[in-house]
A and B are shown apart, each in its own frame.
Chain A
Amino acid sequence: MPRPLKVLIAKAGLDGHERGALVVAMGLRDAGMEVVYTGIRNTPEQIVASAIQEDVDVIGLSSLSGGHMAQFKRVMELLKKEKIKGKLVFAGGIIPDDDVKKLKKLGIKEVFGPGSSIASIVEFLKKNV
């Protein structure tokens, strides 16, 4: 039996706004996925270590405090350093359009801003994993 899609949802850096991340985590749960939610104030190092130990297919990063460029970049660097391949990374939060372009260049597959529907995230993950 193929296992359900396994997703890590984490909030990176000094950012306590967890409502959005939790809503996404619950939405993916309702779409039949196994979601590991690691909560607020994760360091990039903790996120990558968790992704490895949990053997997730997908990493979802959330940031609403403006720290996304530094934090997400570090996550992508660590994934490279640890030679972790085949994990899809997506992001969400308050992220300016200019930064979305930069994040995609770093390898973040998609960025979901305010107003994104759960259905669109589910569809994206099912299509891309």
Chain B
Amino acid sequence: MSDLSKLVSRLENGAALPGKLYAKTGRAHIVGITGPPGVGKSSLIDRLIEEYRRQKKTVGVIAIDPTSPITGGALLGDRLRMQRHSEDAGVFIRSLATRNHRGGVTDSTPAIVHVLDAAGFDLVIVETVGAGQDEVEVADVADTVVVVLMPELGDAIQQAKSGLMEIADILVINKSDLGATKTARPAIHTSAKTGEGIVELVAAIAAHHKALVKSGDLAKRRARAARAEVIRLLQSRMAESILRALESTRAQKILTDVTQRKLDPFDAVAKLAGEINHGNTSSYRRP
């Protein structure tokens, strides 16, 4: 566990995957659990782990909480809901701070998912930050996305909106012990408190995976995920390269011209493009 944990830390800090690891991935079922803050995602995962362990399946969990944009600090409070599984050798739980990555997950999430997959966990669960309507990046990571809501969170119009609601492969209304909820589409009603609906949810997650395999959509989804991962990584390297290029005297002069209203931002970008050497491949080597 200690080696696995150290490797996760290195990836979290921007290191590349160990050379041959990627070839060993693709076996685990990757499940994304997302939804607004406070709907009970972590408590639900605690129950899912319980059920998966009853089925003798091993589980790796990445639980993400937000980094402060002001201090860079974070309070990672998901693990405490699952703490009873800490000593179980068939369960690995790791808390991550977003470090200001937008989109509900972290920069390092795809790489860490690969590590847990290669380590042999049957299920890899990614718990996003408490998500807003536009934080949908988990859909580029997971095979199955579970969107968790709770009673009284909004009417049929809210459920019809784009974004978060759209990426749900399975919709869950947790805290169903608080009362019945009507939904515009089929939903599984659970209570992490009482355990109601957990067996049904685990069955629905397995059925979704089975259907993906049968239809050939799993391969399509994973191809999309791989493309998204490469594009994000490339964008992030390019962004770093741009920031470095902006340190030059000429680039600084262009930026100053914008602040003094001598140049508008669109012309500034056209001028700055010449300052950035996208062909300099050294910026793109394995970190």
A67 beta carbon closer than 8 Å to chain B: no
B2 beta carbon closer than 8 Å to chain A: yes
Question: How does the 8 Å CB contact mask read for A44-57 relative to B, with 1 for contact and 0 for none?
Answer: 01100110111100
| Complexed CA–CA distance, A1 and B14 (Å) | 8
Q: How many residues from A make CB contacts under 8 Å with B?
A: 30
List the count of A-B residue pairs having beta carbons below 8 Å apart.
Answer: 83
A69 beta carbon closer than 8 Å to chain B: no
A111 beta carbon closer than 8 Å to chain B: no
Chain B residues near A32 (CB, 8 Å)? Answer: 68, 71-73
CB distance from A61 to the nearest CB of B (A): 15
A127 beta carbon closer than 8 Å to chain B: no
B5 beta carbon closer than 8 Å to chain A: yes
Chain A residues near B75 (CB, 8 Å)? Answer: 25-26, 29, 35, 37
A31 beta carbon closer than 8 Å to chain B: yes
Contact of A84 among B2, B68, B71 (CB under 8 A): B2
Q: Are B87 and A46 in contact (CB under 8 A)?
A: yes
Given A1-B13, A3-B9, A52-B1, A29-B73 contact (CB < 8 Å): yes
Chain B residues near A42 (CB, 8 Å)? Answer: 83
A36 beta carbon closer than 8 Å to chain B: yes
Stretch from B88-96, B148-156, B228-236, B251-259 that touches the partner: B88-96
Q: Are A52 and B79 in contact (CB under 8 A)?
A: no
A64 beta carbon closer than 8 Å to chain B: no
Q: Are A49 and B73 in contact (CB under 8 A)?
A: no
CB closest chain-A residue, reference B74: A34
| Complexed CA–CA distance, A115 and B6 (Å) | 36
| Complexed CA–CA distance, A50 and B12 (Å) | 17
Q: Are B86 and A34 in contact (CB under 8 A)?
A: no
Contact of A29 among B2, B74, B87, B92 (CB under 8 A): B74
Interface bin, chain B: 20 to 34
Contact of A31 among B71, B86, B87 (CB under 8 A): B71
Given A46-B86, A54-B5, A54-B94, A29-B80 contact (CB < 8 Å): no
CB distance from A71 to the nearest CB of B (A): 15
Chain B residues near A82 (CB, 8 Å)? Answer: 2
Q: Are B2 and A35 in contact (CB under 8 A)?
A: no
B8 beta carbon closer than 8 Å to chain A: yes
A38 beta carbon closer than 8 Å to chain B: yes
Q: Offer 22 A-B interface pairs, CB within 8 angstroms, sorted by A.
A: A29-B71, A29-B74, A30-B68, A30-B71, A31-B71, A32-B71, A32-B72, A32-B73, A33-B73, A34-B97, A35-B76, A36-B76, A36-B79, A36-B95, A43-B87, A49-B87, A53-B86, A54-B5, A54-B94, A54-B95, A55-B5, A84-B2
Q: Given A29-B73, A39-B83, list of 8 further CB < 8 A pairs?
A: A26-B75, A29-B68, A29-B71, A34-B76, A36-B95, A37-B75, A53-B86, A82-B2
Interface residues of A (CB under 8 A from B): 1-4, 25-26, 28-39, 42-43, 45-46, 49-50, 52-55, 82, 84
